[in-house]
Amino acid sequence: MKVVIVGGVAGGATAAARIRRLDETAEIVILEKSGYISYANCGLPYYIGDVIKEAENLTIQTPDKFWSRFRIRVEVNHEVTDIDPEKKTLRVKDLKGQREYEESYDKLILSPGAKPLRPDFPGGDSEKIFSLRTVEDTLNIHRFIEENKSQSAVIVGGGYIGIEVAENLREKGLDVTIIQKPNQLMNTIDYDMASFVHKEVRSHGVNLKLNSNVTGFAEEGDQILTLLEGECGQEKISSDLVLLSIGVQPENELAKKAGLDLGLKGSILVNDKMETSKPDIYAVGDAIQVKHFVTEEDAHIALAGPANKQGRIVADNVCGGHSHYQGSMGTSIIKIFDLTVAATGLTERGAKAAGLDYEPVFLFPLSHAEYFPGARAMAMKIIYEKKTMRILGGQILGAQGVDKRLDVLAVAIHAGVKADKLKDLDLAYAPPFSSAKDPINMAGFIVENIEKGLVQHYYWHQVEELKTRENVTLLDVRMKDEYDHEPMEGYINIPLDDLRDRIGELDPKKPLYVTCQSGLRGYVASRILSQKGFEVYNLTGGYMLYASLMREKKINLQTHPCGKEIFS
């Protein structure tokens, strides 16, 4: 059996190595258009920022190593230009030797990945405008900055790559501006959680231009101007270089030529065995359409983890096995300066779009036992379906312990653990690492309390409307010094510890809307008051979440010259 794989990196290289482990006699060939067969895609921004100092450290495997260990023939700088599914042949162009030849196959695996979107902007062909996908792209950007002693950069796009490059360039000393068409960074989290990301990014000196649409570019001397049209009219930003990071699209030219069925965004349609619409042709990685694990709807999710799993599955099936891909949840994590941001499953926005009856809960637990030095608060948002209690998704931000909690959530979603059963998980505890009641357990407690009717919630976006109502009482149960330091307009302050003694100050005929710093004391106050006959609602996420959103609102008003509010 001769297996030809088009494209290396995560999916292709993984498939090749697995095939060899399953079949010592197979002839395996990898054809890679770039000069590198297996490299650390996710590490590319860190070379630009000199965190990874040696370019060779980006290379995971080389053609020689692949041959020595696996007897796999790897041809880099070889572009496959055409596929003939009937003859089972490929047309290959040697980009270095400038020759073309035909390569036959018994089984063909396509792993071409996804390419950065690069719209046809006026002035977009400038040599000062870059995209980031390959090692070559990284080397070119790094070289440009060093040779030109660049002092400023504009990043168009606030996704993972854009933010990581922005962080690395800022740490390198450049003035950095991120331009984002939507009103928030990162579409993998909701606006309320993104407000904490915005604060972190701004606190490190990165300028954010949200709700701003790039219309083109122009060179002015040794500078490049990024032309914008936003909520407040036209604007231009001058910088030494620009990085376009506005998303990716599946690399599907070969698939189209071969007549393969295509799906979302032009991605290659495959079944759960990674088989395309043509016999003996498979596809994996960022180029394919998958099923979302939570909704079972079609999706395009370009991440390294799924690509590696798909590479293993396709290898099994090429070798006569029966492995099946169960779908993608989009589980992801990113370092943003001193903040870790992680997400899995659906956002609240996604749950709403899917027409699900869901409930979001917020909490701000400490990363480990409070009495042990160095405990830091995390922001957690869990979304669950009310009728079935299944966990739909989660988002966690913080300085410590984010990754392990997010991974627990991802496992819980995959295993079908109900949201209230998070309280029952037996998780590791020692003071430097967690609390006896782990944050994941605490999320389960909150869900259980809601579903048992022990607490009713209201949300940050309802606060402003509540302030206009005369038939309600707004109550803040924080300590007096907390309230005095950061008062919540419209709320009266009765500290939780004084509440039982001062309950006579409250009108039992009016619904009570309670808040505290993070929601915990508000819950305790709700239990006291509800048992005294009050109708009580607790602000989920408390003042910490509300204040973050109000800060974002204030900054939006200050930073947009027209004074227009850009707020969700």
Which of 112-116, 163-167, 527-531 is least confident? 112-116
In percent, the amount of the chain with pLDDT more than 70 equals 97
Active site residues: 42
The pLDDT-based confidence of 562 (bands split at 50, 70, 90) is low
Q: Burial code of 512-524, b = ≥16 C-beta within 10 A, e = fewer?
A: bbbbbbbbbbbbb
The pLDDT-based confidence of 335 (bands split at 50, 70, 90) is very high
- Mean pLDDT calculated for residue range 545-560: 84
What mean pLDDT is reported for the chain?
93
Q: What is the pLDDT of residue 231?
A: 65
Which of 126-135, 204-213, 243-252, 555-564 is least confident? 555-564
How far is the C-alpha of 291 from the C-alpha of 189, rounded, in Å?
Answer: 20
Is the pLDDT confidence value at 245 over 50?
yes
In percent, the amount of the chain with pLDDT more than 90 equals 87
- Residue-wise pLDDT for 458-470, tens only, equals 999 999 999 999 9
What DSSP designation does 524 have? H
Is the pLDDT confidence value at 354 over 60?
yes
- Mean pLDDT calculated for residue range 258-286: 97
- Residue-wise pLDDT for 13-41, tens only, equals 999 999 999 999 999 999 999 888 876 67
Query: Would you tell me how many other CB atoms lie within 10 Å of the CB of residue 499?
Result: 20
- Residue 287 and residue 303 in contact, taking contact as beta carbons nearer than 8 Å: no
- Residue-wise pLDDT for 486-526, tens only, equals 999 999 999 999 999 999 999 999 999 999 999 999 999 99
Q: What is the pLDDT of residue 135?
A: 86
How far is the C-alpha of 568 from the C-alpha of 554, rounded, in Å?
Answer: 13
Q: Which of 46, 334, 55 is nearest to 171 (CA)?
A: 46
How far is the C-alpha of 105 from the C-alpha of 127, rounded, in Å?
Answer: 39
Q: Concatenate the DSSP letters of all residues of 440-496 into one string.
A: HHHHHHHHHHHHTTS--EE-GGGHHHHTT-SS-EEEE-S-HHHHHHS--TT-EE--G
Q: What is the pLDDT of residue 266?
A: 95
The answer for residues whose C-beta is within 8 angstroms of residue 520's C-beta and 6 or more apart is: 363, 542
**What's the one-letter identity of residue 562?**
C
Compute CA distances 297 → 294, 308, 380, whole Å: 8, 21, 26
The torsion defined by the Cα of 195, 201, 205 and 208, in degrees rounded to 10, comes to: -60
Q: What is the pLDDT of residue 252?
A: 95
What DSSP designation does 394 have? E
For helices 191-203 and 542-559, give the axis angle rounded to 10 degrees: 60
- Residue-wise pLDDT for 216-242, tens only, equals 999 999 999 999 986 667 899 999 999
Residue 289 has φ and ψ, to the nearest 5°, of: -90, 140
Compute CA distances 495 → 481, 492, 511, 527, 562, whole Å: 10, 10, 18, 15, 41
Is the pLDDT confidence value at 566 over 50?
no
- The structure tokens listed for 381 are 């948002």
Q: What is the pLDDT of residue 230?
A: 67
3-state secondary structure 137-200: HHHHHHHHHHHHCCCEEEEECCCHHHHHHHHHHHHCCCEEEEEECCCCCCCCCCHHHHHHHHHH
Is the pLDDT confidence value at 567 over 70?
no
Residue 214 has φ and ψ, to the nearest 5°, of: -75, 130
The torsion defined by the Cα of 503, 487, 372 and 198, in degrees rounded to 10, comes to: 140
Is the pLDDT confidence value at 256 over 70?
yes
- Residue-wise pLDDT for 186-205, tens only, equals 999 999 999 999 999 999 99
Is the pLDDT confidence value at 398 over 80?
yes
Is the pLDDT confidence value at 565 over 50?
no
Task: Give the 3-state secondary structure of residue 204.
Answer: coil
Is the pLDDT confidence value at 568 over 50?
no
**What's the one-letter identity of residue 446?**
I
